[in-house]
Amino acid sequence: MLKVNQLMTAGALALGALASSVHAEDTVKVGVLHSLSGTMAISETSLRDVLLFTFDEINAKGGVLGKKIEPVVVDGASNWPLFAEKAKQLLEQDKVAVTFGCWTSVSRKSVLPVYEKNNGLLFYPVQYEGQEESQNVFYTAEAVNQQATPAIDYLLKQGYTKFYLIGTDYVYPQTTNLVLLEYLLSKGVALENIGGGFKKDDSGKIISAGKYTPFGHTDYQQIVAEIKQFSAGGKTAVVSTLNGDTNVPFFKEYAAAGLTADTAPVVSFSISEDEFRGLPAKQLVGQLGCWTYFQSIKSPANKAFVARFKKWLKTTTVPGIVKEDRVTCSPMVLSYDGVYLWKAAVEKAGSFDVDKVRAALKSGLSFDGPGGKVTTQPNMHLTKNVFIGETTAKGQFKILEEFKDVYGEPWLLGKFKAK
């Protein structure tokens, strides 16, 4: 009897395999390329989670073009050569129709040649420096003019006259600050009212603006003293592109020096709701943030989105998901919007073919996301709303100002001319 049973099982398994191979024809493979381990995991795992949630949501409603989304999740492990390898694997082995992934600029740069060579399509969801417009990347990310320059507009309106620029030494802060320098000068802010220092080349042209510290820097005593001195001469705001855990010692030192959100507010571009899972929000109360989405947006669409995501977290069986104290943030919502925009583009094109999907994306598709309406642009970027918010003790943001339908502009260096 046992033998018969075994045979039956084997037969059933074979049938099952057959069935699943039939089933496989009704799915479309979609790549998820984020770091699930290493230094970036704390941020990027949340994007993997929200992507899986979105796929489940779409699959429950019948999928894309009648096909269920079959996610292929890989771990880039915060290791940039591994990102390139995984991108090759997704495109050449798994032949995914589209990939959602990357956080850091360096990971995007490392996979870019792979996507261009294989004519793949990557949706990139995190604020970045611009100066790039690949035909194989759709940037749902905030461009500098959808985060940094609106923040300056807000501060200027509030009567701030002096600006101190500080950031971590890599491409995003360096470029953002150069754009901000040009922007501030074009708004009539005098050069001596822009703090942090400048670096000039032999001809006297400024090639770097602002103060830079390396990754993982911990000693901010001297820099904060400099900010304090700088802020003495007028109404001052600090524009921070400091990254990740360096924010902890920076804000500690800032508070210790007696600087507060009232005397000299800091506007940070790298701290979202999700980062407060690892940062002490209490030290940052009143400091400003600027994103194209905040969890505190009061629209019914956003409330429903947050509720659905939390419900999904409770029921999901995906291994390794953190279920408690979860929040939503801009990169997560831009990932969510990206999936729906891709779906819309595929449906418009009637095909998963990258060239056709790209053409559909360029034609200006709209989606009503949790942060309001977003619209794709011919330059592979996204028009969206921009919000300025004030940090609360709970690690959320109180929305102070909204800019409607800001057009994503990647090429900003040299755009703003001094008066």
Partner 1 sequence: MSSLSTRHKVELIAAGFISLFFIVIFPLLNAHGMVSDFTINLWGKYLCYALLAISVDLLWGYTGLLSLGQALFFSLGGYMMGMYLMRMIGDLGQYHKPIPDFLVFLGWTELPKFWKPFSSFPFAFSLILLLPGLLALVFGFLAFRSRIKGVYFSILTQALTYGASLMFFRNDMLMGGNNGFTDFKFILGHDLRSATTQRGLFIVTAIVLLLVYTSLRLLSHTKFGLVQRAIRDGENRVLFSGYATAHFKLFIFVIAALIASIGGALYVPQVGIINPSEMTPDKSLEAVVWCAVGGRGTLVGPIIGAISINSLKSWASRAAPDYWLVILGGLFVVVVLLLPGGIVSIPARLKSLWQRVTRQPSA
Residue numbers of the site for partner 1 (CB under 8 A)? 36-37, 72-75, 77, 79-82, 84-86, 88-89, 92-93, 105-106, 109-110, 112-114, 117, 131-132, 169-171, 174-175, 178, 201, 205-208, 212, 214-215, 318-320
In angstroms, what is the minimal distance from the CB of 277 to partner 1?
19
In angstroms, what is the minimal distance from the CB of 315 to partner 1?
18
**414-to-89, 131, 175, 322 alpha-carbon distances in Å:** 38, 11, 11, 44
Nearest CB to partner 1, comparing residues 109 and 235: 109
In angstroms, what is the minimal distance from the CB of 44 to partner 1?
11
Nearest CB to partner 1, comparing residues 77 and 400: 77
Residue 223, helix vs strand vs coil = helix
Strand-pair partners of 289:
268, 389
DSSP states of 306-352: HHHHHHHHHH---TT---SS----HHHHHHHHHHHHHHHHHHHHTS-
DSSP 8-state class, residue 143: P
The CA distance from 316 to 314, in Å, is 6
The CA distance from 314 to 323, in Å, is 7
In angstroms, what is the minimal distance from the CB of 88 to partner 1?
5
In angstroms, what is the minimal distance from the CB of 417 to partner 1?
17
In angstroms, what is the minimal distance from the CB of 15 to partner 1?
24
In angstroms, what is the minimal distance from the CB of 179 to partner 1?
12
Nearest CB to partner 1, comparing residues 117 and 303: 117
Nearest CB to partner 1, comparing residues 125 and 210: 210
Helix (H) or strand (E) holding 366: strand 366-369
DSSP states of 378-392: TTS-EEEEEEEEEE-
Nearest CB to partner 1, comparing residues 75 and 337: 75
In angstroms, what is the minimal distance from the CB of 299 to partner 1?
33
- Please list, in sequence order, all residues whose beta carbon lies within 8 angstroms of the beta carbon of residue 397, skipping any fewer than 6 positions away: 273, 289, 291, 294, 295, 296, 387, 389, 390, 391
C-alpha dihedral, 320 to 325 to 331 to 333, nearest 10°: 100
Nearest CB to partner 1, comparing residues 49 and 273: 49
- Please list, in sequence order, all residues whose beta carbon lies within 8 angstroms of the beta carbon of residue 270, skipping any fewer than 6 positions away: 127, 240, 241, 242, 243, 244, 247
Strand-pair partners of 212:
167
Nearest CB to partner 1, comparing residues 87 and 259: 87
Please report the beta strands in 198-283, taking only residues with DSSP state E, as ranges in sequence order.
Answer: 198-200, 206-209, 211-213, 236-241, 266-268
In angstroms, what is the minimal distance from the CB of 33 to partner 1?
10
Nearest CB to partner 1, comparing residues 301 and 321: 321
Nearest CB to partner 1, comparing residues 109 and 277: 109
